[in-house]
Amino acid sequence: MTTVTPWRTLKARLAGTGQFAAAFADDAVDSWPAPKTTVYDPLLIDDHLDRLSTLVGRALDLRKDVREIEVLAVRVAAEYELFLLTAPLNEMIERRAQQGPARSAQAASEAEAAAKFGDGGPLEVGFAQVSARRAKSLGLEASAIEEIDAAIVKKWKH
């Protein structure tokens, strides 16, 4: 003996319109047998909870990974922005460390000193030679510094 409930009426109406499978509107499916005492849960709630906890754990792990990636992305973007701001300063520091203009000025002053010593006595000739060789050495150093400076400029361009 079955009683018609609003639930069954709704199922029958939905089955009649084709929105619901007729098999689900059958009263036999709706009448559940009396529960029996078994050692297992008939609804398998334990298995579902295990699966649910696994899925929630994976979702939390993925969320943590996404958060770590987001933090890394922000950090890398900030470091790149800092690099763009400090790159000209670093280039200038590297170029100034070479002291190219100072070496050129020293070479010019040594050449001028060698010319002023002239070729008078042996002492003046010795000083002139020392100054001339020092001017040549500083000139070579200045030209090497210019090459290094050009390499530094090229390095910081890329």
How does pLDDT run across 131-154, given as a tens digit for each residue? 777 888 878 888 888 888 888 888
DSSP code for 33: P
Compute the average pLDDT of residues 30-41. 60
How does pLDDT run across 83-118, given as a tens digit for each residue? 888 888 888 877 777 777 777 777 777 777 777 777
Same domain, 21 and 45: no
Radius of gyration of the CA atoms of the chain, in A: 45
Same domain, 11 and 52: no
Report phi then psi at 110, rounded to 5: -70, -40
**Tell me, what's the pLDDT at 73?**
86
Please tell me the number of Cα atoms within 13 Å of 35 on its side-chain side: 7
Separation CA 85–CA 50 (nearest Å): 53
Same domain, 27 and 42: no
Same domain, 119 and 72: no
> What pLDDT band is residue 63 in, cutting at 50, 70 and 90?
very high
Separation CA 127–CA 157 (nearest Å): 44
What is the reported pTM? Answer: 0.41
Number of domain units in the chain = 3
Same domain, 47 and 82: yes
Written as six digits, the tokens of 100 are 């190219």
8 vs 22, 34, 54, CA distance in Å? 12, 19, 36
Same domain, 50 and 81: yes
User: By residue range, what is the domain housing residue 47?
Assistant: 38-97
